[in-house]
A = this chain, B = another copy of it.
Amino acid sequence: MDSIIDATAGSRQDRLLLRAEIDDFNAAYAAALDDGRLKDWPAFFTDDAFYLITSRENHDAGLPVGLVYCEGAGMLRDRAFAIEKTAMFAPRYLRHIVGTSRLLRGREDGTVEATANYLVLQTLFDRPESTIHQVGTYIDRFRRVDGVLKLQERRCVYDNLLVPNALVYPV
């Protein structure tokens, strides 16, 4: 594992560059989902990654439950495959607006914790307007794998109640 703790413990410049790199990562991640390239989605994670979509209420209560839960690259790939092969949901466009990221801390195991707020907008093909689909915050742990930032953990904590069928899509 390549450590990135030096970047958070290091100089102001190192920290700001790492933050910019996380912004870059989040923009690429959002573009993959917005473009519907679900098969590219698992590559943003480490092989042992943990992915969760949960409500703010559950998160604040310390409950580990969520409406979507993936552990490991296999589950992420299964999920992406399943969504691409099903057509039970109305066709729609999604668009992520991700706020600038915030570095929280580097940990002794070489990972870095960061957060970023997100807003996902949804446009149904037969409706003229876009609407707010999901509002929340990413609570992330990043690790560098062969020099490339990957998500070891992403918790998507949403504020709004969600209709279950929309949850089929990753955020």
- What is the interface of chain A, defined by CB distance below 8 A to chain B? 12-13, 16-17, 19-21, 23-24, 26-28, 30-31, 34, 56, 93, 95-103, 115-119, 121, 123, 127-132, 135-137, 159-161, 163
Contacts and interface: CB of A to CB of B under 8 A. Distances in A.
- State the majority secondary structure of interface residues on A: mixed
Contact of A19 (B24, B102, B121, B132): B24
A120 to B, nearest CB: 10
Contacts of A129: 132, 160-161
Contacts of A13: 17
A76 to B, nearest CB: 21
Interface centre among A21, A56, A117 (most CB of B within 10 A): A117
B117 A28 contact: no
A160 B115 CA distance: 28
Contact of A17 (B16, B93, B127): B16
Contact of A99 (B16, B97, B115, B128): B97
Given A17-B13, A24-B19, A98-B99, A130 B159 contact: yes
Contact of A135 (B101, B121, B127): B121
Nearest to A132: B130
Contacts of A127: 161
Contact of A128 (B27, B117, B161): B161
Contacts of A20: 16, 19-20
